[in-house]
Structure 1
Amino acid sequence: MDPISAVSEELAEIEGQINDLFRALSNGFQKLEKIKDANRQSRQLQELTDKMRDCKSLIKDFDSEVKSLEGGGNDANTNRMLNDRRQSMVKELNSYVALKKKYAVLILFKIIYSSNLASNNKRVDLFDGPAEDNMEENVLLASNMSNQELMNKGNSMMDDTDQAIERGKKIVQETINVGTDTSAALKAQTDQMSRVVNELDSIHFSLKKASKLVKEIGRQVATDKCIMAFLCLIVIGVIAIIIVKIVNPNNKDIRDIPGLAPPAMNRRLLWNHY
């Protein structure tokens, strides 16, 4: 008789369910090793993950039941046996978890490697025509590679990715530096344009003042010209009268012009009148 069955039927039932799950996990990982297609491997690994989750829940139930029985009068050897059994279950489950992580990484590397080959073939086949046969060959090539080869290839791809990231960081930094220099140059040009605009405003204001001053000067010059023309007419008129008077001194039309004295022969003294 199973010693756990002698302690508790419920513990024995839980242990049986856990053992069934362990057998299913063992068979599932053996089947996973034989599968070559990465998508099928991913689906199989998901099913195994669900089984491991159920197994973890049952181990927790087993541990809770053991703790509830520790104060029920069991001897020290029984409690030690139950704790050893629980630790053995946890250890076995952890081994399947480690396998799950290993296969998850391998499947990921396989998918990435296949996608990388497919993308390379797409770039080449833009000139060579359809690449369905080449893509299938690449997938088969990735599926036929050993785990170690996939690991090595994955590490190489990760190194290439890290180098590409570093190059991208350098390019980004150089772009930031160029942007900073450009921003400083634009700021300097903006300040210069502001000064030019201020100077243009000053020039425009000066031109307005100069235009107004020129208009005033023009009005003054026009007034002065009118005065000068009037004076010239007066002077010409006076000269003309003088010339006429000299040429024809007996002309009665101009004898009474103010400023011109009468002829000496026509003057008479006051005492001669008397």
Structure 2
Amino acid sequence: MASELQMSPQLEQIDGEIHDNFRALANGFQKLDKIKDPNRQSKQLEELTGKMRECKRLIKEFDREVKEEENGNPPEINKQLNERKQSLIKELNSYVALRKTYMSSLGNKKVELFDLGAGASEPVAEDNVQMASSMTNQELINAGTKTMDETDQALERSKMVVQQTVEVGSQTAVSLKGQTEQMGRIVNDLDTIHFSIKKATQLVKEIGRQVATDKCIMFFLLLVVCGVIAIIVVKIVNPNNKNISNIPGLAPPAPARKLLSMEAMGV
């Protein structure tokens, strides 16, 4: 059957491992018929139970691979793969039923039941799983109700997580808004400070130019005062100096002259 299907390498490998375990189970139950010691029979059944658990795990893995590849396969291939999965489940359930028979014959009441169901999905019992085909309608309803309750609880937890996430996001948004406004105020303050520094720099330059101009004026005034003082000092020391007499304002007064009209009157 496996060779007739178009399987991916992963599915072919899983299918081969399941067949190997099925062959080991068939050989193990054949040997079990030849064992007369109850202790050895119990040990052999434990080994076979381990093989069944491995088959159960592999069938679940086979089912996951089929679901992952479902979108990329044609509908006919998906149908064949699902039929192949159901045949594997039926074959494993036959070995489970055979194990139950041997366990009953040994007087052991503790029977492990497997639930591989139509979907080969998750277990629905407490420790071990009961086959869906052997469950009553009330048991199926109770199992479905329990699953729905667990789903509702998971949804409530998810809602709480989402609500907490929204609250944290809102708080973060408010904090970011406040920080953005604060950064805007800081930028405005920096612009004001920059403008003030620019104006102060211009004022300092103007003051510097005024101080330089005042210094030049004071320097020239100082030179003039020094020159006048020097001339006065020289005049006092040497009043007959002709060079000083030629300076306007410092020459000695001219001798008094009589008017021509007065001279005429004297004549």
Q: Structure 1 length as normaliser, TM-score?
A: 0.45
More helix by share: 1
* Highest RCO, 1 vs 2 (Cα 8 Å, sep ≥ 6): 1
